[in-house]
Amino acid sequence: MKFTGKEDIDAPIDDVFRMLSDFDAMERAAMRRGVEVKREGDASAPAPGLCWHIAFSFRGKPRKADVTLKDFDVPNALRFDSDSGGVAADGSIELVALSRTRTRMTVAVDLSAQSLSARLLLQSLKLAKSNLSRRFKVRVADFAKGIEDRYNRGA
């Protein structure tokens, strides 16, 4: 099952990529939302192989996920792989410069099942796919707005 969202951001591509790859800030934001995050590797020099062990609650149950940075293409793309209880996720954030001061961000997440229980979970999510897709696009839009706001505060 795939979710995608696309937003235009009023900020240069280099600044958008710098904010997206500020993993310390992303970790702090996740922790503020109640997610437990443990990093393996050096976030000050990000490279493929950087890994996070994450613990969170989903649908009232505690869950764990391992997220690995697979591609770090400055300033064009970030790609991640994740595994959580038999659900594998391939995530990507791609950036395209529309002009010197405008960037298009495309976020995609592709979920696949690695076990029977994960298949059942994804099957139940498919029943609500239109609602989940709408919520995903709203989250991507909010995330893009946050990047734009951070850029405007720093400019």
Query: Residue ranges per domain, the chain?
Result: 2-26+71-154
**pTM confidence score:** 0.92
Cβ atoms of residues 106 and 12 within 8 Å: no
pLDDT of residue 83: 96
Residue 155 pLDDT greater than 80, yes or no: no
CATH class of 2-26+71-154: alpha beta
Q: Which helix (H) or strand (E) holds 119?
A: helix 116-127
Q: What is the pLDDT of residues 87-122, one digit of tens each?
A: 999 999 999 999 999 999 999 999 999 999 999 989
The DSSP bridge partners found for residue 89 are: 82, 111
Give the whole-number percent of the chain exceeding pLDDT 90.
91
Confidence of residue 42 (pLDDT cuts 50, 70, 90): confident
pLDDT of residue 115: 95
- Among candidates 124, 52, 55, which has minimal Cα distance to 81? 52
Amino acid at position 115, single letter: S
